[in-house]
A and B are shown apart, each in its own frame.
Chain A
Amino acid sequence: MAEPLLTIENLRTYFRTPAGVARAVDGLSLSVHAGQTVGLVGESGCGKSVSALAILRLIAPPGRIEPGSSIRFEGRDLMALAERDMRRIRGNRIAMIFQEPMTALNPVFTVGDQVAEVARIHDGASRADAWRRAVEMLDRVGMPAPDERAREYPHQMSGGMRQRVMIAMALVMKPALLIADEPTTALDVTIQAQILELLADLQRESGMSILLITHDFGVVAETASRVAVMYGGEVVEEAPVKELFAHAHHPYTRGLLAAVPRLGAGRARLRTIPGSVPAPTAWPAGCRFRDRCASAWDRCEREHPAFYQAGTDHHSRCHLVEEPDRRVGDEAAAPTVDVHA
Chain B
Amino acid sequence: MGRRIAARLGQAIVVVWIVATMAFALIHAAPGDPFAFDAPNVTQAVRQHWRAQFGYDRPVPVQYVLWLRNVATGRLGYSHSLHEPVSQALRDALPRTIELMAVALVFSFGLGVLLALYQVRHRGTRRARWADKTALFFYSLPDFWLALLLLLAFAYWFPILPAGYPVDPVMHAYMGPAAALVDRLRHLVLPALTLVLLTTAVVARFQRSELLEVLPLDFVRTARAKGADDARILHRHVLRNALLPTISLFGLSLPALLGGSVFVEKIYSWQGMGYVTVNAIDQRDYPLVMAGVLVGTAMVVLGNLVADLAYAYADPRLRVD
Contact = CB atoms under 8 A, between A and B. Distances in A.
Given A104-B219, A108-B315, A108-B316, A90 B237 contact: no
A98 B227 contact: no
Given A90-B227, A153-B317, A155-B317, A108 B221 contact: no
Given A103-B218, A103-B219, A108-B240, A156 B320 contact: yes
Contacts of A122: 227
A224 interface: no
B3 interface: no
Given A107-B241, A156-B320, A91 B218 contact: no
A118 B218 contact: no
Interface size class of A (residues with CB under 8 A): 20 to 34
A95 B219 contact: no
Which of B217, B237, B316 has most A Cβ within 10 Å?
B316
Contact of A89 (B219, B227, B237): B227
Interface string B189-229: 00000000000000000000000000001110111111111
B232 interface: yes
Interface size class of B (residues with CB under 8 A): 20 to 34
Contact of A98 (B222, B241, B315, B317): B222
B113 to A, nearest CB: 16
Contacts of A169: 222, 226
Interface in B206-262: 217-219, 221-229, 232, 237, 240-241, 244
Nearest to B217: A103
Interface in B307-321: 315-317, 320
B219 A91 contact: no
A110 B320 CA distance: 13
Contacts, number: 72
A106 B219 contact: yes
Contacts of B317: 107, 153, 155
Nearest to A107: B317
A121 B227 contact: yes
B222 A90 contact: no
A153 B315 CA distance: 11
A90 B226 contact: yes
B212 to A, nearest CB: 13
A107 B219 contact: yes
Contacts of B226: 90-91, 95, 117-118, 121, 169
Given A100-B218, A155-B316, A91 B225 contact: yes
A104 B219 CA distance: 4
Contacts of B218: 98, 100, 103-104
Interface string A49-61: 0000000101000
Contacts of A297: none
Contacts of B232: 121
A89 B224 CA distance: 11
Given A98-B221, A153-B316, A155-B316, A106 B227 contact: no
B228 to A, nearest CB: 6
A244 interface: no
Nearest to A94: B225
A118 B217 contact: no
B316 A58 contact: no
Which of B219, B225, B232, B315 has most A Cβ within 10 Å?
B225
A105 B222 contact: yes
Contact of A121 (B228, B241, B315, B316): B228
Which of B223, B229, B237 has most A Cβ within 10 Å?
B223
8 contacts: A89-B227, A98-B225, A104-B222, A107-B317, A108-B241, A108-B316, A117-B223, A121-B232
